[in-house]
Amino acid sequence: MKSLIIKDNGNKEIIDEINNLLEKGKNIFLFTYMDGCGPCNSTIPQWDNIPNKMKGHVDHNNDVVTVRINKDLFPLLKKMGSEPGGFPSLRHVTKDQVEEYEDWQSPSKDRSTNSFVKWIQDKISKKPGVKKQKGGKWSLKYKRSINCKRPRGFSQRQHCKYGRKKGGPRKTQKKHK
């Protein structure tokens, strides 16, 4: 896990490094703050404490990068989404998408270090390409109970017309000795 802080324009190398890390497909957790913003100032120590809290949890995972950047330097970053509308702004950025912390579905979401750690662990634990359940919502028992000679309703007609497997019930073969 890597943690970067960009305070002023003198950090051009770090900005280039962030853009390169994003191109490589890393998980970037971006905290954009504004000077003089009360909520930002109270969130900064919580955000900066993330690497200490995550020691041992994601040390093996070099794909996680936490970044704290001043809002004046945000336009120098590439593919980080649109300029934030409010501050502080917290985002999870990957090569393909940008997700806001505020959109994260969690019952206990606040601006504490523990909440940020849970958010990061939740985002990096999701495996892409999860297979969806194939088939519909009808149980096999219900499907077998449908009378295709007299279907009731549109759905049953569609099932009879397109959804059934042809050939009727299976027959088991007896093995001859």
Q: Provide the pLDDT confidence category of residue 42 given band limits of 50, 70 and 90.
A: very high
Torsion, Cα of 134, 136, 138, 139 (10° steps): 0
User: Judging by beta carbons within 10 Å of its beta carbon (0-12, 13-18, 19+), is residue 66 exposed, middle or buried?
Assistant: buried
Distant-in-sequence, close-in-space partners of 123: CB < 8 Å, separation ≥ 6: 27, 29, 92, 99
For the chain, the straight-line distance linking the first and the last C-alpha, in angstroms and rounded, comes to 65
Indicate yes or no: pTM above 0.75: no
Residue 119: predicted pLDDT: 86
The whole-angstrom separation of Cα 50 and Cα 35 is: 21
Q: For the chain, what percent of residues have pLDDT higher than 70?
A: 79
pLDDT, tens digit (0-9, with 9 covering 90-100), for 106-152:
777 788 888 888 888 888 876 555 555 556 677 888 888 899 999 99
Provide Rg for the chain, Cα atoms. 26
Residue 150: predicted pLDDT: 92
The whole-angstrom separation of Cα 18 and Cα 65 is: 9
Residue 139: predicted pLDDT: 81
CA distances from 106 to 31, 43, 101, 172 (A): 19, 18, 10, 51
Domains and CATH numbers, the chain: 2-125 (3.40.30.10), 135-163 (no CATH)
Query: What's the mean pLDDT when you consider all of the chain?
Result: 79
CB count in 10 Å sphere of residue 116: 24
Q: For the chain, what percent of residues have pLDDT higher than 90?
A: 7
- Taking residues 38-66, what's their average pLDDT? 80
Q: Provide the pLDDT confidence category of residue 24 given band limits of 50, 70 and 90.
A: confident
Residue 5 vs residue 61, higher pLDDT: 5
Residue 136 vs residue 27, higher pLDDT: 27
pLDDT, tens digit (0-9, with 9 covering 90-100), for 140-176:
888 888 999 999 999 889 888 887 766 555 455 555 5
- In the chain, alpha helices (H): 12-23, 38-48, 50-53, 113-125, 140-145, 153-158
Tokens representing 41? 């100032």
- Taking residues 75-100, what's their average pLDDT? 84
